[in-house]
Amino acid sequence: MSEVMRFGLIGAGAIGKIRADALTKSNSCELVAVSDLDGARARSAAPEAIYYADANELVAAKDVDAIIISTPPPLHEPLAVAAASAGKHVLVEKPMAATPDACERMILAARKAGTLLTVGYNHRYFDALKLVRDVVASGDIGTLSHVRAYTGHSGLAEFKAPWMYDKEVMGGGALMDNGTHVIDLVRYMIGDPTEVFGFATNKVWKLGVEDEGIALLRTAEGTTASIEASWHEWRGYRFHIEAYGDRGLARAYYAPMMATVVKLDKPGGSKSVQRHFYPKAILREKVKGWQSTVIQTFVEELADFVAAANGKPHSGRLAVAADGLRAVQIAQATYASEATRDCVKLPALP
Ligand SMILES: NC(=O)c1ccc[n+]([C@@H]2O[C@H](COP(=O)([O-])OP(=O)(O)OC[C@H]3O[C@@H](n4cnc5c(N)ncnc54)[C@H](O)[C@@H]3O)[C@@H](O)[C@H]2O)c1
């Protein structure tokens, strides 16, 4: 494989266009092929790349080392499986697929082929999130007790296409959509949960999927988390995550990007408070929009992806296929809990 990884992009819509821009900005990547049902959209997103009307032809192309799949979720499994079988590394957008079974088939295909499969959990690369994760991992706020996370946007007012709230396509509502990012972030902080309890309601939009999802998680060590995903956050897209240890707390907030770290010398003891602001990011977003933050996270994620595919060290923030599967399992376990009013035990990872 050459020094620069040659990428094919399938799906050049809202997110695919930002993926194309991130690939163009990345020193270790070259965008050589693009596919979208809309040829004009594909060519406008990736004017230098070869256009394939049929995504399967892109998958088979000899000069493509890795593929980004940024289509609606039902295509994630067939394209990821075909790409792995063709020996390509894959980064698939979230949610990994609509069902855990589909995710598992994707994992098995990549494992059989010996290729890399990662999931686009780029929120791990938001500056405030990186800070909070590093504080938690350093032990500076002591032993983690609980993590509280929230994500919301304005639902139907936000969606550009009906598939985005179609149960068959997405596998669910708020928890599978914006919720999947904070489910992943919570796991990124507390480790793997074993139990899930939750609620999923649709009192606001009545769309057949939840516009409000609440998941409670617990790990085998007893660390707990509460997650809320909403489609009636009338102030617009935002999320936050707060990690509580026995000697402090760390909180990341977006948007605007902010973080707070409180450290105690002992439980209930004297405290120091650090507040982190990200004026550059805030200003950049005012001028260039939220896409300017997302593109930066995509560039960092791509650097890790290329390093991981080449067996080289990387930041460790990359979300691998098992992370994608677990996020889908947790959302689906919340739906099962809503239906049965019982706590759901998660299966072992494959
Ligand atoms: N990482 C994030 O923060 C984030 C945010 C929003 C959406 N997403 C995910 O990104 C993916 C794409 O979402 P989007 O908002 O860009 O949707 P979109 O509708 O804007 O783009 C999807 C594109 O896929 C194309 N497409 C559909 N079928 C195709 C096929 N058979 N071959 C080639 N192209 C095909 C469509 O023509 C369209 O251009 C979804 O999985 C979504 O959940 C990720």
pLDDT digits (tens, 9 = 90+) for 96-120: 999 999 999 999 999 999 999 999 9
Q: Strands across the sheet with 238-245, in order?
A: 271-277, 258-264, 248-254, 238-245, 144-152, 224-230, 212-219, 193-201, 344-345
Q: Which residue of 18, 36, 183 sits with most ligand 1 atoms within 8 Å of its CB, as the best mutation to test the pocket?
A: 36
Same domain assignment for residues 114 and 148 = no
Give the residues surrounding ligand 1 with Cβ less than 6 Å away: 10-16, 35-38, 41, 55, 70-73, 75, 93-94, 120, 122, 161
How far apart are the CA of 119 and the centre of ligand 1, in A? 14
Instruction: Judge whether 316 lies within some domain.
Output: no
**Same domain assignment for residues 149 and 276:** yes
**Is 251 found in the same domain as 145?**
yes
Which of 102, 122, 142 is the last residue before a domain boundary?
Answer: 122
Q: Tens digit of pLDDT for each residue in 331-340?
A: 999 999 999 9
- Of the candidates 91, 122, 153, which is a domain's last residue? 122
Q: Kindly report the length of the chain.
A: 350
Q: Which of 106, 122, 138 is the last residue of a domain?
A: 122
- Domain presence at residue 32: yes
Residue 12 lies in a domain: yes
Domain CATH code at residue 273: 3.30.360.10
Q: In terms of domains, do 211 and 340 share one?
A: yes
Same domain, 152 and 76: no
Q: Alpha-carbon distance 300 to 339, whole Å?
A: 39
Q: Residue 18 belongs to a domain with what CATH number?
A: 3.40.50.720
Q: Rounded to 10 degrees, what is the CA torsion of 338, 343, 344, 348?
A: 150
Specify whether 118 is located in the same domain as 265. no
- How far, in Å, is the centroid of ligand 1 from the Cα of 271? 45
Residue nearest to atom 21 of ligand 1 (CA): 13
The ligand 1 atom nearest the CA atom of 15: 16
Question: Is 304 inside any structural domain?
Answer: no
Q: Is residue 315 part of a domain?
A: no
230 and 88 share one domain = no
Q: Kindly state whether residue 111 falls inside one of the protein's structural domains.
A: yes
- Residue 14 CA to residue 343 CA, distance in Å, equals 37
Is there a domain that residue 302 lies in? Answer: no
Do 117 and 133 lie in one domain? The reply is no
Pocket mutation for ligand 1, best pick of 35, 67, 71, 178 (most atoms within 8 Å of C-beta)? 71
Range of the domain at 173: 124-287+321-345
Contacts of 302 (CB under 8 A, 6+ apart): 22, 23, 26, 28, 29, 91
In a shared domain, residues 96 and 146: no
Q: How many CB atoms lie within 10 A of CB 126?
A: 27
CA distance 289 to 237: 13
pLDDT along the chain (350 residues), means of 10: 87 98 97 98 98 98 98 98 98 98 98 98 98 98 98 96 98 98 98 98 97 98 98 98 98 97 97 97 95 98 98 98 98 98 97
39 & 158 share domain = no
Query: How many domains is the chain partitioned into structurally?
Result: 2
Residue 115 maps to a domain: yes
The predicted pLDDT at position 2 comes to 53
- CA of 221 relative to ligand 1 center, distance in Å: 38
Closest residue by Cα to atom 43, ligand 1, is 94
Which is nearest to 55 in space by CA: 22, 92, 18, 25?
Answer: 92
Q: Residues 95, 33: one domain?
A: yes
- Which amino acid residue places its CA nearest to atom 25 of ligand 1? 11
CA distance 134 to 170: 32
- Predicted confidence at residue 52, as pLDDT, reads 98
Q: Judge whether 297 and 130 are in contact, CB under 8 Å.
A: no
Q: 69 with 91: CB under 8 angstroms?
A: yes
Residues 165 and 282 occupy one common structural domain? yes
At 3 the pLDDT is 78
Q: By the 8 A CB rule, do 77 and 97 touch?
A: yes
